[in-house]
Structure 1
């Protein structure tokens, strides 16, 4: 459906979701997705940068490595708040302004991280950088899903959000060279420059959500301008009214995630995000350090961390294609169960180097590749004016798990536990994630079993 007459008024209703679903990916889409992928590169780069810089930072400042737990935690606390607050803001004022403002803030405060000369300054810079960075993933994922045709929406979201993994791998490759040669600050000088360089392309090519503009009923001229670029030849002009099959919501938007039959699925998605990010951040933050503490070289420690990210990079692409066919629940449950088994192996002492890298790759495939699947599941589950909030809330709760994961790992190390104890502990939330996905199938059978059906007939537009 593209246009319908509206009674005696002679106006036509154009459903923008139908136009997107019937369209093809063109030059406009590729440009927008490239910019969004660039934003996600920053997220992945920052996740790994502190993990690689931590041993050199501890040596430079004369600190025991366990004292760096609050540094990891400060950035993750910022991510937690940023994911939730920015998601709600974007569902009200738009994804584009939130993404541009957050990118600028992240760049500035990452440069402040590189310039920090004391622990309080470093903690403040990491928290504020995390606050900006928290806006990136939920809004980028939502925008990709809103501009991708339905027939390949899940695969497109997974592939574009793989920019996160590209950034993580780049952080490992660059840090292996930069940290030994130039010190722990070097990755943050680069990590702060990247988002500032991205601002002009974002201002030019980053679109606003067509569906969000339609459901809000505001800014029809802006909607028409972006629609001309996304779907050339779409109906326009006097009498054309752009609609979606959703009604706008009122009230405190975060509570809407628990209404309308969404409560059970929402809570389970939060729990899956929480448990999976405990694993992601504990492994990303501590694996290079634990490998180095085991007596291997700094370069080997960096490559062990990079193997996790390479696994996530490959896994995300493959899982994106599989999820489109088999559905979210069976694939993600299998991923998280595999991660638990691999973590138990990863913690074994005396593991040969080749086995260490192979198991690290498998862990990345399962947990780093599975996380974009959780994000894509949220993007297909929530309606337009809850989409960024829904993704952001899930990621925010997940970042809380990410905040706790490195702290718990640090406490285990400070208490005399070694690498084996850390990875055995990390296997527990991986099992929880797998069980949650199975519970999601039983508690909310229509969620995540297959690509979502089209919505109802409620129209809203401008």
Structure 2
């Protein structure tokens, strides 16, 4: 008789091995380059504005074009990854944003550059959710959230390194040199991924792929297992009769899906608004210098790194939705506090760190939550669509920030108003947790 192995149980019962660590490393490198290319236009914007003589509105069109592309890319890539595989979509997305970043070097006007940034964004938008999905499917459940958040910390590493590289390269070689590096590295990485990145073994089992393909990965994942005469499953019936979109929007997942979309939209709205406008708000509302405002904003970003790792660690030990709900509640309190302590600079920087810790850290945690919430057959679609809707919030934040400045609100009033998206995102996580707990109880009763 042939032996049957539940691949999810196999991954959960084993310590994290070298093969899984290699997958996490490749995912981290993907996200580092994704972070570098996502913010690359911000680094070259001052030089571009000076050389081309363009207005702030034209520059804003170029900067927002990438976000539009990212939203579209995320929405398209999820269903494709659930149908054709995580690897093919990831390799294609990395190659895509690399090639179009290289092509951006040849731009001669605002229109062509904005169009190329939309195309670049298509690849960038696919990278984060599908990397999260692949890491989640190779991670044991006891450390899944932490490994996903650890991988996504690469985004800030890539964004920060872009600043240092740009500061050296632009004065010496001009702004196209930054685009050259930002395009060449992803193209090189994509060629490496073709040979070195494995497909998700859970995806292969869900699609009834050939035993040889599955066996080759199991032999690397658990080399001590004799795979001769072995068949594989996911410990449950597969959902091949439904498309990934139908699963995500089905009755059992619909409420959870809507709460994820709502929460991520609100969180990214707040994060991008603060990232873009916090220096201006602190400078004009608090009476600080440009350097002081930049340092306070940097503390906001640094807090996000610590928050991502801490939230991921906590999510592996307690109820995931509850951890995120409390994180966003504390983040809302910290947002409110910024407007009340503008006269105390050191305290202002400390609170900005706390805001980043909670809001950025919580947003990264939501990627881990989405990767845990959906079944293998719809995991990429669920995670990608959440990211896509979140990008819409990021786009909207640019207009909201400009409107707030135009209204001339005081700093306390601005940050009092910004409590609302934090509190609503906490509410979304609370409802998500209720829905998940209710679904689990129904599933348990049905199994009796």
Category of TM-score, reference length = shorter chain: 0.7 to 0.9
Partners of 1:51 and 1:188 lie apart in 2 by: 12
Secondary structure of the structure 2 residue equivalent to 1:135: helix
Query: Are positions 1:242 and 2:232 aligned together?
Result: yes
Alpha-carbon spacing, 1:208–1:383, altered in 2? closer, same or farther (3 Å): same
Alpha-carbon spacing, 1:381–1:279, altered in 2? closer, same or farther (3 Å): same
Please say if residues 88 and 388 of structure 1, whose CA atoms lie closer than 8 Å, have aligned partners that are also in contact.
yes
Structure 2: state its 5+ residue gaps: none
Q: Which has the higher helix share?
A: 2
Query: Are positions 1:281 and 2:272 aligned together?
Result: yes
Query: Are positions 1:223 and 2:207 aligned together?
Result: no
Query: Are positions 1:33 and 2:49 aligned together?
Result: no
* 24-33 vs 410-419, which moves further: 410-419
Secondary structure of the structure 2 residue equivalent to 1:13: strand
Shift of 1:419: 7.1
Aligned with 1:438 (options 423, 430, 439): 430
Provide the TM-score with structure 1 as the length reference.
Answer: 0.85
Which position in structure 1 is the counterpart of 2:137?
Answer: 146
* 432-441 vs 422-431, which moves further: 422-431
Aligned with 1:84 (options 69, 75, 90): 75
Shift of 1:415: 6.0
Q: What aligned pairs does 1:122-161 form with structure 2 within 5 A after superposition?
A: 122-161=113-152
Partners of 1:56 and 1:216 lie apart in 2 by: 50
Which position in structure 1 is the counterpart of 2:369?
Answer: 377
Partners of 1:66 and 1:415 lie apart in 2 by: 19
Structure 1: state its 5+ residue gaps: 1-9, 458-462
Aligned with 2:332 (options 335, 340, 347): 340
Partners of 1:178 and 1:302 lie apart in 2 by: 21
Q: What aligned pairs does 1:10-409 form with structure 2 within 5 A after superposition?
A: 10-175=1-166, 187-237=178-228, 239-244=229-234, 245-288=236-279, 303-346=295-338, 351=343, 353-409=345-401
Alpha-carbon spacing, 1:32–1:135, altered in 2? closer, same or farther (3 Å): same
Please say if residues 412 and 418 of structure 1, whose CA atoms lie closer than 8 Å, have aligned partners that are also in contact.
no
Please say if residues 265 and 390 of structure 2, whose CA atoms lie closer than 8 Å, have aligned partners that are also in contact.
yes
Provide the TM-score with structure 2 as the length reference.
Answer: 0.88
Q: How many aligned positions are there?
A: 444
Partners of 2:142 and 2:222 lie apart in 1 by: 16
Shift of 1:422: 6.1
Shift of 1:322: 1.5
* 1:103-138 Cα deviation digits (max 9, x unpaired): 011112223344433111121121111100111111
Alpha-carbon spacing, 1:387–1:122, altered in 2? closer, same or farther (3 Å): same
Please say if residues 339 and 415 of structure 2, whose CA atoms lie closer than 8 Å, have aligned partners that are also in contact.
yes
